[in-house]
Amino acid sequence: MRISDLSGCLSGHDTTASGLSWVLYNLAKHPEYQECCRQEVEELLKDREPKEIEWDDLALLPFLTMCIKESLRLHPPVTVVSRCCTQDVVLPDGRVIPKGVVCLVSVFGIHHNPSVWPDPEVYNPFRFDPENIKERSSLAFIPFSAGPRNCIGQTFALTEMKVVLALTLLRFRVLPDKEEPRRKPEIILRAEGGLWLRVEPLSAGPQ
């Protein structure tokens, strides 16, 4: 199955499809984290049918949320944003970006800055443990941009990702394909040749 082809079924738009694809890939590559997410969802819904998952339940999936955020750090769906300076901006070294200049901000570069994110290519959801984010700048993690012109759909996108991942992990085990994907940054971050994964039904999973 090529999950990067499922934008119409799973997401409704390309950015969320990219985010879902990469987090499933990362969980496939790290079965220990995948199993922790599955157990968290099973515990939450142990006395209910999966179709009964509710809005308030989504705040009770902290580890799943950490896994999503770490995937968005490692593979941000939008890798660059642009901003027009509305006033002169003085940089720490004294140089000035003049008013009216359009600046490109590398989301990918910020998310892979080793001075902020040690071992930036390592997938480690515990970077987003509440104890580990206290000293980190709020601008170190900007998958939805930042400031007054950030993505107005970020809450909906994260909600959608949580629901899809929760219901998927209740039914399937996600396994990596043999080929390692190569990032292909376009308007949206994709995988060259598609992002391929294998899925196995869980024998005891809900139907």
Q: Is residue 9 a known part of a binding site?
A: no
Q: In degrees, to the nearest 5, what angle opens at C-alpha 24 toward C-alphas 20 and 26? A: 120
Instruction: Provide the 8-state DSSP code for 194.
Output: -
Nearest to 53 by CA among 182, 191, 170, 149: 170
Q: Can you read off the two tokens belonging to residue 13?
A: 């738009």
Q: Which residues contact 4 (CB under 8 A, 6 or more apart)?
A: 17, 18, 21, 190, 191, 194, 195
User: Judging by DSSP bridges, how do beta strands 172-176 and 89-90 pair with one another?
Assistant: unpaired
Helix H or strand E encompassing 28: helix 14-29
Dihedral sign from CA coordinates of 185, 187, 188, 194 = negative
- The annotation places the binding site for heme at 151
- The annotation places the binding site at 151
